[in-house]
Copies of this chain bind each other. A is one copy, B any other.
Amino acid sequence: MKYTTKHDRVWNFSAGPANLPLSVLEKVQSDLLNYGGSGMSVMEMSHRCKSFDAILENAESRLRKILNISDDYAVLFLQGGASMQFAMAPMNLYREGHPMEAIHTGYWTQKAIQEMKTIGEVKVVASADAEQGFRKLPEVNESMFNPDASFVHICSNNTIAGTQWQSFPKVGKAPLVADMSSDILSRRLNIEEFGLIYAGAQKNIGPAGMAIVIIRKDLAEQANKSLPTYFQYASHIEGGSRFHTPPTFAIYVAGLVFDWIDELGGLEAMEKLNQEKANLLYGALEESSLFYSTVEKTDRSLMNVVFRAEGNNEALEAKLISEATAAGLTDLKGHRSVGGLRASIYNAMPIEGVQALVEFLREFEKKNH
Q: Which A positions have Cβ atoms within 8 angstroms of B?
A: 4, 7-10, 12, 14-20, 22, 25-26, 28-29, 32-34, 37-41, 43-49, 79-84, 86-87, 91, 114-115, 118-119, 200, 202, 206-210, 226-231, 243-250, 253, 328, 330-331, 336
Contacts and interface: CB of A to CB of B under 8 A. Distances in A.
A208 B253 CA distance: 13
A8 B34 contact: yes
Contact of A245 (B9, B32, B48, B81): B81
Nearest to A252: B207
Nearest to A90: B228
Given A25-B33, A84-B80, A331-B49, A249 B209 contact: yes
A335 B179 CA distance: 37
14 contacts: A4-B39, A19-B40, A29-B29, A29-B33, A39-B330, A40-B330, A48-B336, A79-B81, A86-B230, A87-B230, A118-B228, A202-B245, A208-B246, A208-B247
Most buried by B among A46, A87, A226, A253: A46
A115 B228 contact: yes
B34 A253 contact: no
B209 A248 contact: yes
Contacts of A202: 245, 248
Nearest to A4: B39
B208 A83 contact: no
Given A9-B34, A83-B230, 9 more contacts: A12-B39, A19-B40, A25-B32, A25-B43, A29-B33, A43-B208, A79-B79, A114-B229, A207-B248
